[in-house]
Structure 1
Amino acid sequence: MDNLRQLAIFWGCVLLAGCGGDTLEHFGGPTMGSTYSIQYVRTSATPGPEAVQREVESILQTVDRQMSTYRSDSDIERFNQLPAHSCQPMPASILQLVRTGEQLSQASDGAFDLTVEPLINLWGFGPQARQVKVPDAATLAQAREQVGYQHLRIDGQQLCKDAAVEIDFNSIAAGYAVDRIAERLAALGIRSYLAEATGELKAAGRKPDGSAWRIALEEPRDDLQVAEKIINVDGFGVSTSGDYRNYFQQDGRRYSHTLDARTGAPITHQLASVTVLHPSALMADGLSTLLLILGPQQGWEYAEQHQVAAFFVMREGDGFVTRSNNAFEQLTAVKP
């Protein structure tokens, strides 16, 4: 999964006493090539951390088994290995993500596309990448023939393709996992929590001392971790997409891991990172990538038109400038 999300979590104390004996529990571990972390307020009516951790890790293991492009036995990799004009039965979760991807592709005129895995590998950023370098025009044109969300079709419970396309869920799978975790926590009676997986997160309620869950959005630098902005989170997912940690340089030019499916090449504009807030962590995940691909002007116009709560960080000279819209400011306003 995408390890490049720049969200730093302000943990506070390991254990905080609150009203009625409520305590703040936390646990975490490795997942999907990165890590996950959970904090939740434990009451007399909610289970202990060992039981909650088992539930959370079961969800993460299922998502990895279904959607990982880094294991050949995953459901999506078995589909990716099929030739054109093939179908494969798929779990409902994968079909849901394919539909979400189609929605985001149509909304971005094809800039966002789940079938970019051949391009990601060609540019040296994917699980089957051979080398990191700028591909020649002929090789790039050949890879682009294997890209296009319109080649996918859902037939009942089957996913079908009419070309040899390959799907990469890295732009939305972690957000989906966080939503599933949040749903499970709620089903266990947990009302206050902060759930994070590979940088995607969702929070609800407050800590035992009554304070809000606070998230630091990092300045998009590849040398230091510096907080650009700190926000309060309650009832929505948070996702940041950035182009500044996974890249390579060749002949004095910088090539990001974020690709525009319309060109088949990395983005080249000055938008360094985008943070999106949304009730669904899945949609926050996908929309942050979509806006990053579209860039500082087209992405901003999209966010305004569709009322997406967004925080933009642009490169300017040797530094950065930031811009947030009204939807973002309203969601992060300090509440009593």
Structure 2
Amino acid sequence: MRRILLPHQIADLAPLAGSAVHRFGGLSMGTSWSVLVAAPAVPPGLQALLQRQLDSVVGEMSHWEPDSDLGRYNRAAPGSWQQLLPAFFDVLSFAMEVARLSGGAYDPCAGAIVNAWGFGPGGGHDQPGFAAPTAARVAELRAQRAGQQVLLEAGQAQAAAQRGMQDGGPRAGGGRAYQPGGVQLDLSAVAKGYGVDRLAHCLMAQGLPHFLVEVGGELRGAGMKPDGQPWWVVLEPPPVEASDAAAPGEIALALHGLSVATSGDYRRYFLRDGTRYAHTIDPRSAAPIDNGLASVTVVHPHCMAADAWSTALTVLGVQQGMALAERQGLAARFVLRGAAGGYTEHLSSPMRAMLDDDVN
């Protein structure tokens, strides 16, 4: 049985007569990206323009590229202030706000902890002989992070422009960030979502309001297809294993002015002595999560927000995560592993409010 999610507001602007779907795509952020545009024609050079948007994000915010602006911040001397370009400052500011609202369940400054577990740029978790951090090392990482305070200071023009920072649009001014020493920024739980928003903003600036954008599985849609239908996508399901007694029913989402992102423990992990160590790290414990959640999906107007919140809610677990989703008005779907196999599904009230009647 398929269930469907519908946006609360549907614009009546349809694609122009003679519209067709134009396809673009490439590689970025260690993954692929794709764009579908419904229009009679598209501007020449649109493929290159879209690629430049993502290349700019990588050049500023990638923790995999040592020469990125983020890489330079991570290597900066203790006690120094580092000037950040507007987009970088916006994304880091938003990530820090999610960290505050989630009580530290999400932390863009916990890159050293992620690296120690073999999920950072140096890798290692999937290599023979990889040794997970000892209890003493985990305690050391927690103490180190607790003693670090990252400060942000917006420039005058940036402070005036920060309203609505989630839309992925250009900003003026920028700001600076304080490096207390040893902080390793990791924006992997927000940068892909920001990249999606950046592409969406670029398309709208080109006069193309009907599109579906995807970067590494995170999506944002606007307008309609040439046939007048919205951009339909299916929420990412957890993997079906032989021992599973049941799996959640399929949910299709009309991506019409909405974005969707999913965080799951099945994407990157390693097994040791029968224990699954997921790539999602709880910064508060400095260790991978172990709360039974297989995945969390968040639907939001902005993909950067959906991306960051799906990670934060995954770390918090179904009870605390659901409580935070309700406080923040987030449309969230929690998929919990059963002790004897199978899954149970939990939907926040904003997500339930989007559900239409069941469709076979």
Change (3 A) 1:302 1:81: same
Give the Cα–Cα distance (whole angstroms) in 2 for the partners of residues 129 and 83 of structure 1.
24
Give the Cα–Cα distance (whole angstroms) in 2 for the partners of residues 207 and 149 of structure 1.
51
Match of 1:294 in 2: 316
Equivalences for 1:176-195 in 2 at 5 Å? 176-195=194-213
Match of 1:142 in 2: 140
Match of 2:161 in 1: none
Structure 1 range deviating more: 111-120 or 79-88? 79-88
Equivalences for 1:221-260 in 2 at 5 Å? 221=239, 228-260=250-282
What SS class does the counterpart of residue 189 from structure 2 fall into? Answer: coil
Provide, for residues 241-288 of structure 1, a one-character-per-residue CA deviation record: whole Å limited to 9, x for no partner.
Answer: 111121111122111110111100111011111110111111111111
Match of 1:321 in 2: 344
Give the Cα–Cα distance (whole angstroms) in 2 for the partners of residues 87 and 165 of structure 1.
13
Deviation of 1:228 (Å): 3.5
Letter in 1 for 2:278: S
Match of 2:109 in 1: 115
Change (3 A) 1:218 1:227: farther
Give the Cα–Cα distance (whole angstroms) in 2 for the partners of residues 148 and 31 of structure 1.
33
Residue among 31, 38, 43 paired with 1:41: 38
Deviation of 1:19 (Å): 6.7
Deviation of 1:326 (Å): 3.1
What RMSD over aligned residues (CA atoms) do the two structures have, in Å?
A: 2.2
Give the Cα–Cα distance (whole angstroms) in 1 for the partners of residues 65 and 273 of structure 2.
34
Give the Cα–Cα distance (whole angstroms) in 2 for the partners of residues 93 and 117 of structure 1.
20
Change (3 A) 1:148 1:331: farther
Q: Is residue 68 of structure 1 aligned with residue 91 of structure 2? A: no
Match of 1:153 in 2: 151
List 4+ stretches of structure 1 deviating above 4 A: none
Give the Cα–Cα distance (whole angstroms) in 2 for the partners of residues 227 and 40 of structure 1.
30
Change (3 A) 1:186 1:306: same
Change (3 A) 1:205 1:227: farther
Provide, for residues 147-199 of structure 1, a one-character-per-residue CA deviation record: whole Å limited to 9, x for no partner.
Answer: 25961112342211223111000010111111111111111111110011111
Paired residues in the alignment total: 314
Q: Which runs of 5+ in 1 are unaligned?
A: 1-17
What SS class does the counterpart of residue 186 from structure 2 fall into? Answer: coil
Match of 1:9 in 2: none
Give the Cα–Cα distance (whole angstroms) in 1 for the partners of residues 102 and 147 of structure 2.
12
- Give the alignment's TM-score, normalised by structure 1: 0.87
The sequence identity of aligned pairs, in percent, is: 36
Equivalences for 1:158-169 in 2 at 5 Å? 158-169=176-187
- Contact 1:115–1:148 (CA under 8 A) maintained in structure 2: no
Match of 1:5 in 2: none
What SS class does the counterpart of residue 277 from structure 2 fall into? Answer: strand
- Contact 2:148–2:181 (CA under 8 A) maintained in structure 1: no
- Contact 1:89–1:158 (CA under 8 A) maintained in structure 2: yes
Match of 2:9 in 1: none
Match of 2:10 in 1: none
Give the Cα–Cα distance (whole angstroms) in 2 for the partners of residues 149 and 24 of structure 1.
52
Residue among 150, 170, 178 paired with 2:188: 170
Q: Is residue 101 of structure 1 aligned with residue 101 of structure 2? A: no
Residue among 181, 199, 212 paired with 2:230: 212
Give the Cα–Cα distance (whole angstroms) in 2 for the partners of residues 332 and 75 of structure 1.
42
- Contact 2:73–2:179 (CA under 8 A) maintained in structure 1: no
Give the Cα–Cα distance (whole angstroms) in 1 for the partners of residues 146 and 179 of structure 2.
10
* Higher RCO (CA < 8 A, seq sep 6+): 2
Give the Cα–Cα distance (whole angstroms) in 2 for the partners of residues 66 and 147 of structure 1.
23
Change (3 A) 1:149 1:300: farther
Match of 2:353 in 1: 330
Letter in 2 for 1:229: I
What SS class does the counterpart of residue 291 from structure 1 fall into? Answer: helix
Give the Cα–Cα distance (whole angstroms) in 2 for the partners of residues 202 and 148 of structure 1.
35
